[in-house]
Amino acid sequence: MDPRRFERVDETTWRYGPEGAMRVPAVIYATEPLLREMDEKVLEQLRNVATLPGIVEAAFAMPDAHWGYGFPIGGVAAFDPERGGVVSAGGVGFDISCGVRTHLTGLREADIAAVRERLADELFRTVPAGLGRRGRIRLDDRAMDAMLAGGAAWAVAEGYGEDADLERIEERGRTAGADPDAVSRRARERQREEMGTLGSGNHYLEVQVVDRVEDEATARAFGLRPGEVVVTIHCGSRGLGHQIGTDYLREMARAAERHGIRLPDRELACAPVRSEVGRRYLGAMRAGINCALANRQIVAHLARTVFARFFPGIRLPLLFDVSHNTCKEEVHATAEGPRRLFVHRKGATRAFPPEHPDIPEPLRPWGQPVLIGGSMGTGSWVLAGARADGTRAFASAVHGAGRAISRHRALRTFRGEQVVRALAERGILVRSVSLRGVAEEAPAAYKDVDAVVEAAHRAGLARKVAHLRPLIVIKG
């Protein structure tokens, strides 16, 4: 993308418009090299988002942004329901509440060295991964309703984890306002046997080591110590979330027309927050969030059982669980004072600053943990909400490295077995049901996660705390 198309506000802030039908400007946070690497579709999609009714401040894109469905992945936009603001299924995405959670082990890298191969094999056997893979849990209608309403809190009550986990999950593991009745029969059927599964694509379970600390005080408060091992899980709402998105995009396309909303792109199908369709989608989407929270909670329980076989008595306390691909009702400061807004974060996460009341103690003085998944070979990051006087992009930050090339192009470029072999030579064990999936997710198919995180840090979206290097990768 040509930087000359933008007004450069500062080192990492690029502003475009408003022009034409845009109600607000488009703003991209990125270094100049990252901006140049972005495809033109990112700006086109931001311009389209900026035309939607009730949008507040700007249509934002994070440093990891790339083309997506309707909204760019890495897109953030907030809407005021009192001014005709809308909710868009395309602004949330199909993998509702895909997210990341990290568990501490207290183990040193040397502690797992002798059992690493066996540990990798046992994790792969125990945690179902791959397209269409089913878990060991089958939900009847009553249990499905309870899961959709209860989220991770339901999973803990069913014996998958401990109460202390809920203190380290957004909204204590249960999003209020979920409406199981707004979830279609087809969505329920797709999820009935998929609880406790990773799925495919970029979802994974990784055993990692803290190999670099950037903020010692915050890392210490988060329980991250150099040389210690952590377990990170990245997955979402599986087939249920995808079906919710599919169902409501059709309905919203019709609803937009009824409400006189002109869509510059059909993929931006939306409905007023206060409309009947808008309310039902929010209820279904919140149920999808709860599904993802419950799913990650069960996967974490399975990982704990594996570690306990090798290290009796180990607990694996949760550092934090953070979602992306959501729309959440939040109060934010604006030029007109505090306003209750519906914040879409598609491929972006919350990044609440220190002392925010929604951050659990004892993390509150340090800011919300922001967990950034990288590619298989480049490692991941733990960030924290920025210490700025105000927050940027409605307290949002990046969610990962962001794709550099499409999955189709990756398949033409890389061979799965070569990727596995190259990673093994670097001490990274990969276990996957699909070499095709490994090729699609090859490290070189993604942007440089360190560059993305550096841009987020410089932009004041979040601050660097610690880098995590992969040791074991379990993928679909």
Active site residues: 399
Given the structure tokens 């997210």, which residue do they identify? 99
Which helix (H) or strand (E) segment holds residue 100: the answer is strand 99-108
Residue 176 CB neighbours (<10 A):
10
- Find, among 373, 402, 381, 401, the residue nearest to 463 by Cα: 381
SS3 441: coil
Q: What is the CA radius of gyration of the chain?
A: 21
Residue 274 CB neighbours (<10 A):
13
Which helix (H) or strand (E) segment holds residue 28: the answer is strand 26-29
Cα angle value 256/257/261 (rounded, 5°): 60
HEC letters along 295-355: HHHHHHHHHHHHHHHHCCCCCCCEEEEEEEEEEEEEEEEECCEEEEEEEEEEEEEECCCCC
- Quote the tokens at residue 118: 């066996």
Alpha carbon 17 to chain centroid distance?
Answer: 28
The answer to whether 263 touches 256, Cβ cutoff 8 Å, is yes
